[in-house]
Chains A and B, each alone.
Chain A
Amino acid sequence: MAKVLVVTSGKGGVGKTTSTAALGAALAQAGQSVVVIDFDVGLRNLDLVMGAERRVVFDLINVVQGVAKLSQALIRDKRLENLWLIPASQTRDKDALTDEGVRRVINELRTKFDWILCDSPAGIERGATLAMRYADEAVIVTNPEVSSVRDSDRIIGMLDSKTAKAERGERVEKHLLVTRYDASRASRGEMLSIDDILEILATPLLGIIPESQDVLRASNVGCPVTLNNTNSAPSRAYMDAVRRLMGETVPMTVPVERKGLMNRLLRRRAA
């Protein structure tokens, strides 16, 4: 049965789009059929991070408003044949999305895909509430930093009250994804630790994505990080997270960069 997953955070710049692309690609790499939808109307970026920006013809708004058919707006990934993208509109504003239109699109996608990933815009306005509206599960992306944790708390409150599932008296299953984590700074008490964040937000942990240069490198070339360098630390962390999403029990670790011999020698000398 299809699962609708919203990737949300409240705060901007914490890694929602990066995580949507990485989780979507990792699910597809695991053999699932996946569609990722950009809900950031007016400021679309998922197409760019996925490297499909030059192939956009129709978008989510066109489908919601009945101007285009769903099949016309679906863009197939060039690398993975079971990964698809529905881009957001770059020109309209967020009011162009309607609750009824989004419901219709999601219901149609449910019949075609295993996973429907909704990349939420930042904030708590219409775009963000509609992205989470029909979700079965939610990934809350949080940085180990006070403003991000505060906004995540707010979003968790909304997931528990403003979603269709919550209104039916059911629960949206929530998962916390901590990104840009620096284990050594956390161990020195310079950064909120995973335990701190979990205690404050009281939400089950899906994964810990370490701060890494590989993330920017992947977005520079328009490739989800899990596809760009399968062995990098963030890739392994996203892949572990996806195995947990699919119901596997995977021990929680913070993957570290695998340094070459030269790197290690240089580091030692510098320290």
Chain B
Amino acid sequence: MMNLLRLMSGRSGSAPVARERLQILLAHERGVGGSGAPELLELLRSEILAVVSKHVDLDPEKVVVKLDRGKFVSMLEVDIEVPNAAQRSKLVAAT
């Protein structure tokens, strides 16, 4: 019933958005003031950005470096969104 009402009013819950924004932000911030190396993630991000930018035009905001802390191992996740036009030039650059 609530779902039906929501569909009719054209609004949906904002909680999923809140959750996703938090997950991305905190993945970034963890380590600051905690036990990990404070600027490690920012350093990794800027160096990765510099290396890839040599070959591809990138939107710096679309480079996401995440570190998921686990009990025994942590997972470093690098997510780089490449625009389509630039992707072609990257392929050219690679060959």
Within 8 A of B (CB), among A133-149: 145-146, 149
Within 8 A of B (CB), among A169-226: 186-193, 196, 200
Query: Chain A binding site: helix, strand, loop or mixed by DSSP?
Result: helix
Are B35 and A154 in contact, CB atoms less than 8 angstroms apart?
no
> Provided the pairs A189-B13, A190-B13 are in contact, do residues A161 and B26 lie with their beta carbons within 8 angstroms?
no
What is the size, in residues, of chain B's interface with A at 8 Å between Cβ atoms?
21
What is the size, in residues, of chain A's interface with B at 8 Å between Cβ atoms?
22
Bound: A150/B33 CA distance, A? 13
Is B34 on the interface with A (CB-CB < 8 A)?
yes
Q: Which residue of A lies closest to B13 (CB)?
A: A189
User: Which residues of chain A are near B54, meaning CB under 8 Å?
Assistant: none
1/0 contact string of B1-18 vs chain A (CB within 8 Å): 010001000001111101
Bound: A153/B13 CA distance, A? 24
Q: Which residue of A lies closest to B21 (CB)?
A: A146
User: Which residues of chain B are near A124, meaning CB under 8 Å?
Assistant: 33
Are A189 and B16 in contact, CB atoms less than 8 angstroms apart?
yes
Bound: A36/B33 CA distance, A? 27
Q: Which residue of A lies closest to B19 (CB)?
A: A196
User: Which residues of chain B are near A188, meaning CB under 8 Å?
Assistant: 2, 6, 13
Is B23 on the interface with A (CB-CB < 8 A)?
yes
Q: How far is the CB of A131 from chain B (nearest CB, A)?
A: 16
User: Which residues of chain B are near A146, meaning CB under 8 Å?
Assistant: 18, 21-22
13 sample A-B contacts, Cβ–Cβ < 8 Å, listed by A number: A150-B26, A153-B26, A154-B32, A154-B34, A157-B30, A158-B33, A160-B34, A161-B33, A188-B6, A189-B12, A190-B15, A192-B18, A196-B15
State the 6 A-B residue pairs at the shortest beta-carbon distance, nearest first. Answer: A189-B13, A157-B34, A161-B35, A196-B19, A189-B15, A190-B13
